């Protein structure tokens, strides 16, 4: 790994952790630079602004997640299998990297609408998957239900109300999602 790439990754990790701890508005570029042990000028060599940093980090990781969802769901037959695969992948993302997961959730509301239409979007991936099954009457409402079940359970794990790892609850979450999307 090149030194510049390692510094950029260090900036990304520190900024995501600080955003979760202090909020986006409560985190300054100076805070991020100090957490990384670099000068603010070094940070600006990688990102022109905090807003650009948020947009780039979100876009890179959200698009990668969306692509993983699409590929995983395509490889499994039947709605039940696809939902189980999506749930397992979602839970795995949380378990592997709760900081990244939390960051994506924190900034998604402002960032999803800014994604270029040609980029993969997890909402569209799930919607299209659900819309293809005749048992799903309202695909967008079912999509919201799927994400609602998964996100809220992840937040309960984050706050210690459900024991970690989230993937331990994947079979139950799959049943709950299936009940919600086919209701």
CATH number for region 1-47 = 1.10.10.60
* Dihedral angle sign, alpha carbons of residues 164, 167, 169, 173: positive
Tokens 């805070």 sit at which residue?
Answer: 31
Q: How many percent of the chain have pLDDT more than 90?
A: 93
pLDDT digits (tens, 9 = 90+) for 76-108: 999 999 999 999 999 999 999 999 999 999 999
pLDDT digits (tens, 9 = 90+) for 42-62: 999 999 999 999 999 999 999
Measured from the Cβ of residue 43, the count of other Cβ atoms closer than 10 Å reads 22
Cα angle vertex 152, ends 149, 157, to 5°?
A: 120
User: Is 134 strand, coil or helix?
Assistant: coil
Q: Which fold has domain 50-181?
A: Tetracycline Repressor; domain 2 (1.10.357)
In 3D, which of 90, 97, 98 has the Cα closest to residue 69?
A: 90
Query: Distance between CA 62 and CA 58 in Å, rounded?
Result: 6
User: Is 164 strand, coil or helix?
Assistant: coil
| Domain ranges across the chain | 1-47, 50-181
Cut 0.95: pTM above it = no
- Cα–Cα distances (Å) from 3 to 7, 9, 12, 13, in that order, read 6, 10, 14, 15
């Amino acid at each position: 790994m090149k030194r510049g790439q390692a510094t950029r990754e260090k900036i990304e990790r520190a900024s995501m952790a600080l955003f979760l701890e202090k909020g986006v508005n409560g985190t300054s570029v100076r805070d991020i630079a100090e957490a990384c042990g670099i000068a603010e000028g070094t940070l600006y060599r990688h990102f022109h602004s905090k807003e650009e940093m948020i947009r780039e980090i979100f876009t890179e990781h959200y698009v990668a997640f969306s692509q993983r969802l699409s590929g995983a769901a395509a490889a499994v037959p039947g709605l039940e299998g696809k939902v189980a695969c999506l749930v397992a992948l979602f839970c795995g993302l949380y378990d592997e990297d709760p900081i990244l997961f939390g960051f994506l959730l924190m900034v998604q509301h402002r960032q999803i609408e800014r994604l270029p239409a040609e980029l993969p979007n997890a909402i569209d991936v799930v919607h299209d998957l659900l819309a293809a099954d005749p048992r799903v009457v309202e695909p967008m409402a079912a999509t919201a239900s799927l994400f609602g079940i998964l996100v809220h359970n992840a937040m309960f794990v984050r706050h210690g109300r459900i024991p970690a790892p989230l993937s331990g609850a994947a079979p139950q979450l799959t049943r709950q999602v299936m009940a919600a999307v086919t209701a």
